[in-house]
């Protein structure tokens, strides 16, 4: 199925919105709850799957929905259509946490890309959203993304979101070593593996974790500076340190001094 062609504009800096302009009859598919606003003339319908399923039976739809559920997505996708008889209409989508929205033209990277399992935001109708399994047991167990990755296939535009700043790397028969949570997406031709992070002292005291991910070969890699899991861990640690929302010693001279030192 050939993907619909989309025109878009990314708005904002740290908490971005992608505004997509649809011709009459064009459709964009998005994860449930991602829509931010839409103009008059845009209609939407919630369906099981991404709309590319060749088997239209109940079992076929359930199979497609089950693939989405394994990647952490809702089993339902929302299809937004420009139903106005004339003129273009806009619909916008926002990411669920601070970071960047990255447009990926699948036709320029071999019609296929692998992503972290909760990266998908929206895509042109005709994009297949499915799963890919890590073939190596160690990579699935320690690689940060588990055994299941998200696979996007098609010849149109897809949009993924990532935390913090996004860096694009082009590998030319090279190997890149990466913190396991910082991978956003990569070309399927790259070899994805893990390796031990240095010697025992480095692993225990280095702060980089026990393992690093490696991507080897020729292809494209997208990296994020702030994985959501890392952000959540820091928030949880701060809450626990503060003793349920209040700094230990808050109200005393020491508590006030601590607030001044950390800028509170």
The confidence band for 1, taking pLDDT boundaries of 50, 70 and 90, is low
- For 204-251, the pLDDT digits (tens) are 555 555 678 889 999 999 999 988 777 777 788 778 776 555 544 444
* pTM of the complete model beyond 0.85: no
Residue 257: C-alpha distances to residues 76, 142, 235, 254, 261 (Å) = 51, 41, 21, 5, 6
Residue 219, in any domain of the structure: no
- For 75-127, the pLDDT digits (tens) are 788 999 999 999 999 999 998 888 899 999 999 888 899 998 788 999 999 99
Q: Cα separation of 238 and 123, whole Å?
A: 36
Domain boundary among 165, 188, 214: 165
Domain boundary among 165, 186, 221: 165
Q: Cα separation of 73 and 130, whole Å?
A: 10
Q: Which domain holds residue 246?
A: 234-261
- For 153-204, the pLDDT digits (tens) are 999 999 999 998 899 999 999 999 998 789 999 998 899 887 776 655 555 5
Note the pLDDT of residue 179.
86
Name the token pair of 75: 């089993």
User: Across-strand partners of 3?
Assistant: none
Domain boundary among 116, 134, 165: 165
DSSP string, 8-44: EEEE-SSB-EEEEEE-TT-EEEEETT-EEEE-TTEEE
Would you say how long the chain is, in residues?
Answer: 264
- For 51-69, the pLDDT digits (tens) are 776 555 555 555 555 555 5
Name the token pair of 38: 């839409």
């Amino acid at each position: 199925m050939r993907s619909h062609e989309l025109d878009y504009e990314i708005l904002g800096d740290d908490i971005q919105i992608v505004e997509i302009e649809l011709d009459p009859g064009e459709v964009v598919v998005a994860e449930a709850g991602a829509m931010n606003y839409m103009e008059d003339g845009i209609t939407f319908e919630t369906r099981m799957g991404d709309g590319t399923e060749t088997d239209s039976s109940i079992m076929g739809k359930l199979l497609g929905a089950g693939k989405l559920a394994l990647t952490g997505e809702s089993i339902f996708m929302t299809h937004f259509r420009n139903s106005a008889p004339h003129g273009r209409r806009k619909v916008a989508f926002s990411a669920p946490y601070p970071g960047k929205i990255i447009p990926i033209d699948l036709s320029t990277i071999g019609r296929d890309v692998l992503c972290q399992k909760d990266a998908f935001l929206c895509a042109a109708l005709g994009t297949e959203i499915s799963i890919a399994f890590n073939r190596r047991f160690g990579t699935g167990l320690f690689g940060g993304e588990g055994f299941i990755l998200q696979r996007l296939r098609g010849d149109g535009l897809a949009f993924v979101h990532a935390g913090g700043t996004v860096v694009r790397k082009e590998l030319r028969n090279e190997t890149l070593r990466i913190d396991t949570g910082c991978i956003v997406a990569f070309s399927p031709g790259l070899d994805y593996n893990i390796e031990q992070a240095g010697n025992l002292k480095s692993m225990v005291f280095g702060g980089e974790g026990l393992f690093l991910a490696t991507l080897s070969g020729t292809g494209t890699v997208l990296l994020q500076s702030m994985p959501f899991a890392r952000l959540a861990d820091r928030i949880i640690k701060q809450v626990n340190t503060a003793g349920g929302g209040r700094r230990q010693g808050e109200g005393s001279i020491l508590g006030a001094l601590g607030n001044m030192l950390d800028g509170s």
